[in-house]
Amino acid sequence: MVEPVKTVSGQSARKAPRLWGWHTGLSIAIALAILVGLATMIDLKEVWRQVAGLNRGFVLLGALAHYATYPVRGCRWRRCLLHLPLKAGKAKFGLLVFFYNFVDNVVPAKLGDVYGAHLAGINCGVSRSAAMGSIVFIRVIDSWIVLLLAGLASLVLFSAKLPRPIIWSLLGGGVIALAANSILLACFLLRKSLPGWLPQRVQQIIHGFHTGMWPGSSEILPIAGLTAVIWTLETLWIFFLALAFGVKLSLAETVFLTMIPLLASAFPFTPSGAGVVEVTLFSCLRAAGVPASIAVPLTAVNRVIDYWLHIGLGLILWAVRRGIGLRTWREVPLEEGSAVPSPDPAVTRPVRGPLDKEVIHAG
């Protein structure tokens, strides 16, 4: 849903995306309907019995590995923007990554990424279009890593014939990766020679997006290293969780169970693919030879820690945001511009860029 936003002068600005509305309510309703339907198909007493007997030490190690990725993701995001003037350190970027991924867990269609760009604008002093460019750049890196690792692991485990759900997941991941690449390519080509008929506002957005989507050459290796750490930790999360249930996975199985459900999380009609991810993870566990009596509780614990705990922690952050210095639109009036001019001399625009006039109505 979109609605017009008034600028400081009272003029109507371009329409801004709105996180909360009928589309979000419908998305949550679809996810809950899927989850309730799944709950009616399992033996809850047996699931609880299995959960009560798991190795809590391995669960804790896995959860720590998973949540340790957020500060590392924050460091990587900041590295992507070091060629621009920044007013925030690594800790603030890590906090923003955690918070906008929390938002992504309750709204559909990856709108949390758009909100993340706005959070960067009001907390870090970087233009929102540049922040969005850096997020798309990161998404391109991650989508290709997940797709390639998922494909390799699937071929190793199912060299004879890939199960149909896995084929669909890989195809979906390929579409997402190609779409993200197309956005970067289009902005790169347009940056060289923008058509004169494009409105000035659109030209400014493209210029700003371009300044954020290419990190400095000296940051490529650090970004690659941080990316390797992130996906190592995510893989360890699944490995330790399986060990908690007495399941020892091979490297190929661990990578397979890590990457394929992540492809399903891009399903746009529910928040972070809720409902679809559960079905995908369970199907992958069964395809990897894990018995149903273990696959069901393992899936449940995975989603409680990865998804529902994240939502709970995100709500706590929202409640204490003033105390920890997290600024949202409720703390920053529309009149306060936080974006800075792009250092690119080819970009000439006022301090408040076109995206800086937008408000996401999520508080």
Three-state secondary structure string covering the chain: CEECCECCCCCECCCEECCCCHHHHHHHHHHHHHHHHHHCCCCHHHHHHHHHCCCHHHHHHHHHHHHCHHHHHHHHHHHHCCCCCCCCCHHHHHHHHHHHHHHHCCCCCCHHHHHHHHHHHHHHCCCHHHHHHHHHHHHHHHHHHHHHHHHHHHHHHCCCCCCHHHHHHHHHHHHHHHHHHHHHHHHHHHHHCCCCCCCHHHHHHHHHHHHHHCCCHHHHHHHHHHHHHHHHHHHHHHHHHHHHCCCCCCHHHHHHHHHHHHHHCCCCCCHHHCCHHHHHHHHHHHHCCCCHHHHHHHHHHHHHHHHHHHHHHHHHHHHCHHHHCCCCCCCCCCCCCCCCCCCCCCCCCCCCCHHHHCCCCCC
In a domain, 190, yes or no: yes
Closest CA to 305 of 45, 33, 54: 54
In a domain, 84, yes or no: yes
Please give the DSSP secondary-structure letter assigned to residue 354: G
Q: Are 273 and 264 in contact (CB under 8 A)?
A: yes
In a domain, 201, yes or no: yes
Which position has the token pair 């992130």? 230
Could you tell me the pTM of the whole model? Answer: 0.79
In a domain, 12, yes or no: no
In a domain, 15, yes or no: no
In a domain, 140, yes or no: yes
Q: What domain range includes position 104?
A: 20-336
Q: Are 101 and 71 in contact (CB under 8 A)?
A: no
In a domain, 350, yes or no: no
HSE-up (13 A, CA, CB side) for residue 211: 24
In a domain, 223, yes or no: yes
Closest CA to 215 of 82, 71, 74, 73: 82
Question: pLDDT 10s digit of each residue in the chain, 363 long?
Answer: 333 444 333 333 434 446 666 666 777 777 778 778 777 777 778 888 888 889 999 999 999 999 999 999 999 999 999 988 888 889 999 999 999 999 888 887 677 888 898 899 889 988 888 999 899 899 889 988 998 898 889 888 887 676 666 777 777 767 766 776 676 666 666 655 666 666 667 667 777 777 888 888 899 999 999 999 999 999 999 999 999 999 999 999 999 999 998 888 877 678 888 888 888 899 899 988 999 999 999 999 999 999 999 999 999 999 999 898 888 876 665 444 433 333 343 333 333 333 333 333 334
Task: Give the count of domains, the chain.
Answer: 1
